[in-house]
Structure 1
Amino acid sequence: MPTPSSVSLPSVAARLRAAGCVFAEDEARLILDTARDDGEATAMVERRVAGLPLELVLGWAEFHGLRITVEPGVFVPRRRTEFLVDQALARVPHASVVVDLCCGSGAVGAALAAALDGPELHAADIDPAAVRCARRNVAAYGGHVHAGDLFAALPDSVRGRVDILAANVPYVPTGEVPLLPAEARDHEPLTALDGGSDGLDVLRRVAAGALRWLAPGGCLLVETSRRQAPAAVEAFTRAGLVADVAVGDEGYAHVVTGTRPAD
């Protein structure tokens, strides 16, 4: 009788389940579909069992219908952030200039560009690893990726012309970073997670500078938590933006939008 393969779906799922993976069968299927041979599948299973996030094991994450390349040391896009993309598209459906600030992998910029009609796309991040990864993800849309600190990274040519300014800023309060799941805490850059004492340090900086970059009627969109949303709205309003909060259907996604008033 032949010996069952060590990389069959049942055997891989059993190994992942024993390691504590809640969706073991789904993860096993993704690993086996992604691996090019049994040896690679075995290595991927070992990395997952050792605690590496599934997306880094696979080398990609699904986001807004796209397969986004992810690499070690780069923030993995969260499915809840798809709500931010949907809000941006609903508010400015014909955007011609899009900026993805604090871009990480460039997932938000890529998703916006894929849904729009050939926008001018710029993405920026302070982390060199994120910049390299984002370039891979926005290349198909003619996107430009810049290295630097927030608006200082952007070319002057887009000042006052941005229709959608998506900024997936870090918003975890410093004291809560140690409470994050190990997959985030141990494998993602601290700069993509730690938002300062109340989690809103970077958000306030983005809000303060946004008006100079937005086109009339353009929108800044930032993801935050329910308890942080009122302070985020206050920061947007203080910066001269017309602010409101949208909450996803399941209640876990909160997006604060600030619109530049029409001139």
Structure 2
Amino acid sequence: MPSPPSSIPPSPFPSSSAVVRALRTAGCVFAEEEAELLLAAARTPGELAAMVDRRTAGLPLEHVLGWADFHGLRITVEPGVFVPRRRTEFLVDQALAQAPDARVVVDLCCGSGALGAALAAALGAVEVHAADVDPAAVRCARRNLAAFGGRAHTGDLYAALPAGLRGRIGILTANVPYVPSAEVPLLPAEARDHEPLVALDGGADGLDVLRRVAAGAPGWLAPGGCLLAETSERQAGAARQVFADAGLTTRLAVSEELYAHVVIGVRQP
């Protein structure tokens, strides 16, 4: 059930303590940090009151602010678009370590385009493409990739990509949905109620989309190019096998600090 309105008056400008109190009452764990961000973003008392009301009603903070902090970038995030997770920064770092000289980057299941933008920012002069089945996500990705000359395409996985990318991709990221269908109702309400199901539900075992991505990867990767996907600890072994079955040389990278598990597959020359 949504939390009650914050009851913060539109004037005078509310104090930080009033905002913190409203957020804490609504169950926001990081109320102090969130209050600072909301106070910095609001231009008027009325706007602040509206933002606090949206947050206390359960909208993800990033959707309230209109952006997410990801790998040193401010990524535009519109309502209804998957919010990039901080743990996924580990996937970006692994991609850069695996292929520091990559010149073509593709971000499948791109959501906001955060992965493509972060990689483009780090690699410099690079050709970057992103793709998603959700038109709202693609609109968002176009905005985030514009500064890097990137392109975002609407469509189902590889079918959305220009044919000229075949055999040229140095880094292929695929932050695919990997939550098993039966576990989607167990997700936190912020994700379950405000992010698209297509970005969360990975099928019966959570690996349906990953299998499709891995099967097509060898035909799109350049020799030595790599595919990276995030998974859960429980699914990591099965995900590695999916990559191996597709003919990729695989390894698993783990960050205990971020509780992140990234499967990496390389197309051998």
Are positions 1:160 and 2:148 aligned together? no
- Partner residue of 1:169? 176
Q: CA deviation at 1:37?
A: 1.6
Alignment of 1:4-19 (within 5 A): 5=12, 7-19=14-26
The residue type equivalent to 1:40 in the other structure is E
Determine helix, strand or coil for the equivalent of 1:257: strand
Q: TM-score of the superposition, structure 2-length normalised?
A: 0.95
Structure-2 separation of matches of 1:89 and 1:216? 17
Q: CA deviation at 1:249?
A: 3.5
Identity %: 73
Are positions 1:74 and 2:81 aligned together? yes
Runs of 4 or more above 4 Å deviation: none
Determine helix, strand or coil for the equivalent of 2:171: strand
Across the aligned residues of Structure 1 and Structure 2, the Cα RMSD in angstroms comes to 1.0
The residue type equivalent to 1:254 in the other structure is H
Structure-1 separation of matches of 2:259 and 2:198? 22
- Partner residue of 1:62? 69
> Cα distance 1:93–1:74, how it changes in 2: closer, same or farther (>3 A)?
same
Q: Say which is worse superposed, 88-97 or 34-43, in terms of deviation.
A: 34-43
The residue type equivalent to 2:243 in the other structure is F
Q: CA contact under 8 A between 1:94 and 1:117: conserved in structure 2?
A: no
Are positions 1:240 and 2:242 aligned together? no
- Partner residue of 2:224? 217
Alignment of 1:1-263 (within 5 A): 5=12, 7-250=14-257, 252-262=259-269
1:54-86, CA deviations, whole angstroms, 9 ceiling, x for partnerless residues? 110100000001000001110000000000000
Q: TM-score of the superposition, structure 1-length normalised?
A: 0.97
The residue type equivalent to 1:240 in the other structure is G
| Structure 2 gap segments, 5+ residues each | 1-10
Determine helix, strand or coil for the equivalent of 1:45: helix
Q: CA deviation at 1:39?
A: 1.3
Q: CA deviation at 1:213?
A: 0.3
